[in-house]
Structure 1
């Protein structure tokens, strides 16, 4: 054969073979395969488009189905020039899950899943297989249908985890037996609940500390509702008792009501039957509160293992939260929330302190004189002195102030049952420089080594005999000129 003719024949055969390979590759692509290409890094681009090309992405899997849609927001950007300014319109595209409606979503999770719609890369092409069931593709874990603006579609199936890489899955086109291995976002295998944000509460005041004006706690956990209202700059208990609050306990409640993250999302748009199943028809706790001029309601339902079911008003989602997220609310009581101090004024505010008990009465009278050298136009400074019974001069700066600390550190130990009767065994009475009236604390014997403390006619709780006797004994020591430490 002529040498030139032989070479031409070989070239012709090569063209036929290469053409056959190309045709085979095209025939095995998923629908929408015009996006197929192989990169220099041995990965195969099954689809390569932009997020702006997507009009919908529908996912059906073993946990349900959902549809991701784009939301386009027009943005106008201005640019200045020497002759003036011009405006150019641009688009900001975000994605949302149609089935969630107005339920708060984790936008980052949605964005990550939708990437598998417009940019999908295979790490291996296994070619045409005879049995899709061997790869979990006959009854796939998920099917994905993407529609693009140009009218084209890209549909594929996700099968089993690959035999050699637990982070990769087998994949094929909707009507193809050509199998690839791909890495996908885990959201493709989840239900719509996966996209609900787990951040239940994240309340912050840009001007500073969160400003609570009301907290009302009710529900099965409480014999009677606990009400807290604003008094000056602080929240105080207003019902069932009137008292200052324990700073640490109140802080824990405020934290629970402004910052809470769920461990998981359990149910969406629950009906009455579902609410009952999770104990949210008759909650353990209902917290109605106002912070930063916005009102909220949080419900805590039944307990499960190490946590509780909760719901936030106007958000139709049942969340599961760990114990520590809600323990401050579940354990709150009138006694735990109140300050355990009986009366705790500043020593400089008190004009006289009368202590009665153990058959004796001591009145400590304080005199003050303005210190002209230390006073300013905005604030007066004083020097202080104190006398006891019969005008006896006592040490103010050390002994009296130390005794005053003993008096004001007296705290209730536990709640009291009922109102005491009879004559008090001891009494403290405070009078003030800058306001009229007095504060009176009366102590009534209540069983073994306990006294019921009554402040201005309101029962506060029980104090121990030892603590009360320290106040009475130290009053005698102070009157006699002894040292108080």
Structure 2
């Protein structure tokens, strides 16, 4: 046999013997390893029952933070008045506040039901674990039987998830609540207002969710030297009217966005609970920049905004003394808007089939158009009648196809700005609407002495803004044409 071959066979034999020895060790283990495993198992088993109490045994829990200096006393309470026993926690002194009790319970349970992930044991230098003195946090649980448990919480553990704790002179690693390191204000609910949509029920009990209605709104504060009032409209086209400082239709899309922000209000944060006068002044809420007093779908609220800092307003709601912060983007629909932004772009939009009499007065005389509504039974429904119109002037028929374009010209006069100034002299044109329901409205247009191509418009005697003089001139040119029952062509 060659020497090389002999060496290979010897090497293979050695490897085979080592492999068998390794397998035996894996299957049987050495006495030293068995002892270590047994010790580790016993330690783990003992650690599972560090503290094992129930909420019904807890009188209170006091949590102290060395870093913030805050002390919270957690009290067992009922999540529902119908509950037979305490099943959650609140914060002492805040029993009447909007506390997120489930979050408080998440913090509390880690003090009376403790399962460590690892036992460190006795250590010589507690400061290495952040446990010297009262550590970073200290929790004291007082039970209803008079006994107590005290846990010192130190720094985050490096080798495992959780923090080091000291309990009965032994050090452990324990998972802690994420709410331990948060401010006490994080326990206040930031969902401040949530008005549900109205629900209607038919005769068969089927429910239908409707759209919210802004029944009233009053905007005031330093941003509103002229306070704005608005509410529901009885107009058949527009849903809302502005009633102060002028009377005008409201811009539907703007109001929809405003309703959305007032119906559901969620704060960005909380900076004070049961605020003092000094705290109210600190956040500018003693002289609010904007106040919204409103009613949506039967629910009333008042929101006050203070000073804005880094895009956040201080905010108080209703009579609550909690001071919140809220993002500018969450209140921009109402916090600092102009009257012109909120109003409709036209002076008035009366529905053509709501007007019983139309009176048009200018330098060339007054034209009065009487309208008769005739119900179309084929097109009407049980709840909504459909009308055809017959128009006459001085008893003579005016063709509807001539009347309608002229009426559209009247509605189409749009506002250029909210320059509210008293008019001078006599009006160039006056339009009076007499409605079937007995209401009347009157719009007049005056030459603007300060602007050659502008007219000042009034609604029911109140200045309402500036319009283009060319729009008025077009109506004045069309007025005698319709009076002769001839076709009127709208320039648009």
TM value normalised by structure 1: 0.77
Residues 168, 181 of structure 1: 8 Å contact kept: yes
C-alpha contact 1:441 1:454 (8 A) present in aligned 2: yes
Deviation at 1:371, TM superposition (A): 4.5
Q: Does 1:458 align with 2:462?
A: yes
Cα distance in structure 1, aligned partners of 2:306 and 2:48: 50
Q: 1:160 to 1:439 in 2, by over 3 A?
A: same
**Alignment length, in residue pairs?**
436
Distance 2:105 2:118 in 1: 25
Deviations 1:69-95 (A, max 9, x none): 11258988xxxxxxxxxxxx9435221
Out of 114, 119, 130, the position equivalent to 1:120 is 114
In the alignment, structure 1 residue 145 sits paired with structure 2 residue 149: no
Which among 145, 148, 152 is matched to residue 157 of structure 1?
152
1:179 equivalent in structure 2: 171
In 1, are the aligned partners of 2:405 and 2:488 still within 8 Å (CA)?
A: no
> How many angstroms apart in 2 are the aligned matches of 1:271 and 1:379?
56
The aligned counterpart of 1:248 is 253
Q: Provide the secondary structure at the position in 1 that maps to 2:63.
A: strand
Within 2, Cα distance between the matches of 1:282 and 1:410?
40
Question: How far is 1:110 from its partner?
Answer: 1.1
Aligned to 1:304: 309
Determine the structure 2 residue equivalent to 1:439.
Answer: 441
Long gaps (5+) in structure 2: 1-31, 200-209
State which of 102, 106, 116 in structure 1 corresponds to 2:100.
Answer: 106
Partner SS, residue 254 of structure 1: helix
How far off its partner does 1:347 sit? 1.4
Matches of 1:444 and 1:482, distance apart in 2: 23
Tell whether the 8 Å contact from 1:442 to 1:454 is kept in structure 2 after alignment. Answer: yes
Cα shift readout 1:175-202 (whole Å, capped 9, x = no counterpart): 52x3322221121223422211112212
Contact 1:71/1:93, CA 8 A, preserved across alignment: yes
Secondary structure of the residue that 1:224 maps to in structure 2? Answer: coil
Among 250, 274, 278, the alignment partner of 1:273 is 278
Matching residue of 1:31: none
Whole-angstrom CA distance in 2 between matches of 1:390 and 1:75: 73
Q: Give the SS at the match of 1:329.
A: coil
Contact 1:171 1:179 in 2 (8 A): yes
Distance 1:337 1:289 in 2: 15
> Which residue in 2 is equivalent to 1:83?
none
1:423 maps onto 2:426 in alignment? yes
Partners of 2:474 and 2:413 lie apart in 1 by 9
Question: How many Å separate the matches in 2 of 1:401 and 1:138?
Answer: 88
Is the contact made by 2:421 and 2:456 (CA closer than 8 Å) also made in structure 1? no
Instruction: Kindly state the Cα deviation for residue 386 of structure 1 after the two structures are TM-superposed.
Output: 4.4
SS at match of 1:418: coil
Answer whether contact 1:44 1:124 (CA < 8 A) is retained: no
Structure 2 CA distance for aligned equivalents of residues 163 and 51 of structure 1: 31
Q: Is the 8 A contact 1:245 1:338 kept in 2?
A: yes
Q: Bigger shift: 57-66 or 99-108?
A: 99-108
Whether the aligned pair in 2 keeps the contact of 1:73 and 1:91 (CA below 8 Å) is no
> What is the alpha-carbon distance in structure 2 between the residues aligned to residue 369 and residue 292 of structure 1?
35
1:67 is matched with: 73
Query: Which residue does 1:38 correspond to in 2?
Result: 45
Higher RCO (CA < 8 A, seq sep 6+): 1
CA distance in 2, matches of 1:374, 1:55: 72
Inter-partner Cα distance in structure 1 for 2:447 and 2:217: 35
1:481 and 2:476 aligned = no
Rounded to whole Å, the distance in 2 between the matches of 1:272 and 1:379 is 56
- The 1-side partners of 2:97 and 2:285 are apart by 19
**Distance in 2 between the 1:441 and 1:372 partners?**
34
CA 1:206 to 1:51, structure 2 compared with 1: closer, same or farther past 3 Å?
A: farther
State the Cα distance separating 1:300 from its structure 2 match: 0.5
> Secondary structure in 1 aligned to 2:417?
coil
Greater Cα offset, 368-377 or 317-326: 368-377
Superposition deviation, residue 377 in structure 1: 8.0
Q: 2: distance between equivalents of 1:197 and 1:465?
A: 55
Per the alignment, residue 135 of structure 1 pairs with 129
* 2:221 alignment counterpart: 219
> In 2 relative to 1, CA 404–120 (structure 1 residues): closer, same or farther, beyond 3 Å?
farther
Q: Is the 8 A contact 2:79 2:101 kept in 1?
A: no
Root-mean-square deviation over aligned CA pairs:
3.7
**Is residue 410 of structure 1 aligned with residue 413 of structure 2?**
yes
What is the correspondence of 1:322-337 to structure 2 with a 5 Å cutoff? 322-337=327-342
Q: Secondary structure at the match of 2:88?
A: strand
Gaps of 5+ in 1: 1-13, 26-36, 77-88
Paired position in structure 1 for 2:58:
54
Distance 1:378 1:250, change over 3 A: closer
Tell me how far 1:322 sits from its aligned partner: 0.3
Q: Name the CA distance, whole Å, in 1 between partners of 2:324 and 2:278.
A: 16
Q: Is the 8 A contact 2:249 2:347 kept in 1?
A: no
Structure in which a larger fraction of residues adopt strand: 1
Is residue 166–residue 172 contact of structure 2 (8 Å, CA) maintained in 1? Answer: yes
